[in-house]
A and B are shown apart, each in its own frame.
Chain A
Amino acid sequence: EPEVTQTPSHQVTQMGQEVILRCVPISNHLYFYWYRQILGQKVEFLVSFYNNEISEKSEIFDDQFSVERPDGSNFTLKIRSTKLEDSAMYFCASTSGTDIDYNSPLHFGNGTRLTVT
């Protein structure tokens, strides 16, 4: 079964540094998402992306965050200047979103654990 893949699995960075988290969504999916989960807390929506643009974003997704689909397969989340409170597990997800597969659920990657020191 196809999977959403994320790299790296764990990223350690210093406060103020830029990080890029990478995701490869399932190949025929059209909608892409980033979610965040701070340790011990709930899963929080960050942003959704469709047709090469952001379709929705949450209050968490401020100017420090950006997303990009640089080629036909990768979907990246960039944090420009990391803060301690950005430490969390970041999950990428995708869904088909087509008329044929309207009921396609979200498929999640394994996540990237970001640690900001």
Chain B
Amino acid sequence: AQRVTQPEKLLSVFKGAPVELKCNYSYSGSPELFWYVQYSRQRLQLLLRHISRESIKGFTADLNKGETSFHLKKPFAQEEDSAMYYCASRYNFNKFYFGSGTKLNVKP
């Protein structure tokens, strides 16, 4: 079965510290991967997708097929980054699977 795993439920860091939110996927084909962010009581918003290879709000994510990972990174965390982060994969055209989410708490 297709699966997206986010091993950490909660990640707490101090402002200015580097952040890495882990995501691993299981998929036999060519995955398409996304990171979504959910600020408190708001909708899920697309943060990044691997095909774009872009940096949004200082976050980057690289697809590592050897390790089947798509970790989200930011060199210097800000308090406004505190949110819930979901890794998601898409396969068979329009089936999406979400990980269980990681709550990022950036302390002042």
A residues adjacent to B (C-beta < 8 A): 31, 33, 35, 42-43, 45, 48, 50, 55-56, 91, 93, 95, 97, 102-103, 105-111
CB-based contact A43/B86 at 8 Å: yes
B residues adjacent to A (C-beta < 8 A): 32, 34, 36, 38, 42-46, 49, 51, 86, 88, 90, 93-101
The 6 closest A-B pairs by CB, nearest first: A42-B100, A108-B44, A108-B43, A31-B94, A110-B43, A97-B94
Chain A residues in 8 Å Cβ range of B34: 105-106
Given the interface contacts A33-B96, A42-B100, A95-B94, does A106 sit within 8 Å of B32 by beta carbon?
A: no
Given the interface contacts A108-B44, A111-B43, does A48 sit within 8 Å of B94 by beta carbon?
A: yes
CB-based contact A43/B51 at 8 Å: no
Can you list 19 residue pairs at the A/B interface with Cβ under 8 Å? A33-B96, A42-B101, A43-B44, A43-B101, A45-B96, A50-B94, A91-B44, A95-B94, A95-B96, A97-B93, A97-B94, A102-B93, A103-B32, A103-B49, A103-B51, A105-B90, A106-B96, A108-B36, A108-B43
What secondary structure prevails in chain B residues at the interface with A?
Answer: strand
Per the bound structure, the CA–CA distance linking A107 and B88 in Å amounts to 13
